[in-house]
Amino acid sequence: MIIRSRAPLRISFGGGGTDVPPYPEEKGGAVLSSTIDKYAYCTLVTRTDNAVSVKSMDYNVAAKFNVNGELRYDGKLDLVKATIHRLDVRTGFDLFLHSDSPPGTGLGTSSALVVAIVSAFKQWLKLPLTPYDVAELAYHIERDEAGIKGGRQDQYASTFGGFNFIEFLGRTTIVNPLRVSRETLNELEYRLMLCYTGGSRLSAGILDDQIGAYIARDEQVIQALQETKDLAFNMKNALLLGKLAELGALLHQAWSCKKKFSGKITHAHIDKLYELARQNGAIGGKLLGAGGGGYLLFLCEFDKWHRVAEALEGAGGRIVNFTFDHLGMQSWEVNDA
């Protein structure tokens, strides 16, 4: 049996950081995001023995081990090992993994990959999992089992797909699907710009700074997190009302807040690209993910998009075209290999 699955990557408009423990457990968090037509893919081929073979194109690494043997978390395909352990898989299989964007670029790639893996296992093992079950399971696999630091938004965004306002209330996560008008979606796709800054980042150090400052009750960080959450609510309202100029201005405010979480979030090259975009017609924007590198997202004046793109590419950025995804995770059996 061959099973294939895919889970979409996401762009986060606002609220990122308020989903990172312990803030949501104590204060409650909120994130506005949408999935896009970039995906993490998983192909699972069943076996009749206990052997496991995994190939990851993203990390250019392959591994073989016994499903009933000791699974040591050594930084080599730990997400797969954590899934096996969490689901108590006892039968062998082959796994082939790849993504449309490399991990560490701010699009939630690693979380989408876990969702795709869980989705494939769900299809194979006939597991009675709801989308909430899948997202929560993916979160625990990545954060608790594999020990990869991060928040709760990415697993839910990738599982559910579409535009969502996700609230984190204590240990409960609620996904609110948004009914964004087709006109607004078309205009957003016309005016949004995704720019690759030319590098990936390790988010753990940035998150350590944010978490440490919050635990130490750093007033600047606490205030920035509260303002970030408030801005997410304002962005949701602007989006639903089709007020895109207001959404762009709120993106700019959110970027100013985000930079207060840690001194590692931005650097000279990112700041240069951001200012160039603003000077040439971007109303506002932000760096996606925890920070440090990856993708910048901009909302441009409708007649300035190409000027912004030209300025960014001239400074070393790379424009990546995209559209929105509305389906979330999917899995299917392959009948013709």
Q: Report, as residue numbers or ranges, the catalytic residues.
A: 154
CA 162, distance to chain mean position in Å, is: 13
CA-CA distance, 238 to 247, in Å (whole number)? 6
With tokens 């909430």, the residue in question is 132
With tokens 């760096």, the residue in question is 287
Q: Give the burial string for 112-144 (b: 16+ CB within 10 Å, else e).
A: bbbbbbbbbbbbbeeeebeeeebbbbbbebbbe
Contacts of 337 (CB under 8 A, 6+ apart): 2
* Three-state SS sequence of the chain: CEEEEEEEEEEEEECCCCCCCCHHHHCCEEEEEEEEEEEEEEEEEECCCCEEEEEECCCCEEEEEECCCCCCCCCCCHHHHHHHHHHCCCCCEEEEEEECCCCCCCCCHHHHHHHHHHHHHHHHHCCCCCHHHHHHHHHHHHHHHCCCCCCCHHHHHHHHCCEEEEEEECCEEEEEECCCCHHHHHHHHHHEEEEECCCCCCCHHHHHHHHHHHHCCCHHHHHHHHHHHHHHHHHHHHHHCCCHHHHHHHHHHHHHHHCCCCCCCCCHHHHHHHHHHHHHCEEEEEECCCCCCCEEEEEECCCCHHHHHHHHHHCCCEEECCCECCCCCEEEECCCC
Would the CA dihedral through 306, 311, 314, 317 be positive or negative? negative
